[in-house]
Amino acid sequence: MADDSIDVGRDRDLEGRGFEPWVRRALLGVLLVLIVLALANTFGQTPHVSQAASPKAVLGVRAPERVRGGLLYQAVFTITARRDIKQPQLVLGPGWFDGLTVNTVEPEPSEESNRNGHVALSYDELAAGDTLRVWVEYQTNPTTVGRRIQRVELDDGDQPLVVHRRPLTILP
């Protein structure tokens, strides 16, 4: 039995469909370009290391500068005391929280407080030469997009020792 709805020229030889294969190839090409750009870290996620220093301490930050919505990532703050720091406080500005979800902070601070809209994490005394690493696990809220400045400050009690600013771009 032959089916009259099948046309060999149209269905097998694709007659009259000259541009359609090129549209499919173009769409696959765009997809391939996006994959290559993602592999080249164009869309973020790779951590960037930066630091600021003063005569009393060095503050290092290791975190991505570009992230995508929904991404889980880690920020590591490294504090190296050049002199004794009696009451070390890591003070994080709103850029570390706005549109981001904090999953965990390790080691846990002995005290957390609000300092004019900034979050102050207090730790035990650091002697000269001591190093404190603080790991913060984040997730980018999927609806957040834009660019902001992330400000982090290392204080000894209420006295600022080191201030560090870094950009964060959140891609859709």
Backbone angles phi, psi at 35, to 5 degrees: -65, -45
Angstrom distance (rounded) from CA 73 to CA 143: 17
The DSSP letter of residue 96 is G
pTM of the model: 0.78
Phi/psi region, residue 44 (left: phi>0; alpha: psi -120 to 50; beta: rest), is left
- pLDDT recorded at residue 94: 96
Residues 97, 102, 106, 107, CA torsion sign: positive
What does the pLDDT profile of the chain (172 residues) look like in tens digits? 566 788 777 777 777 777 777 888 899 999 999 888 878 877 767 889 999 999 999 999 999 999 988 889 999 999 999 999 999 999 999 999 999 999 999 999 999 999 999 999 999 999 999 999 999 999 999 999 999 999 999 999 999 999 999 999 998 8
Residue 55, number of CB atoms within 10 A of its CB? 8
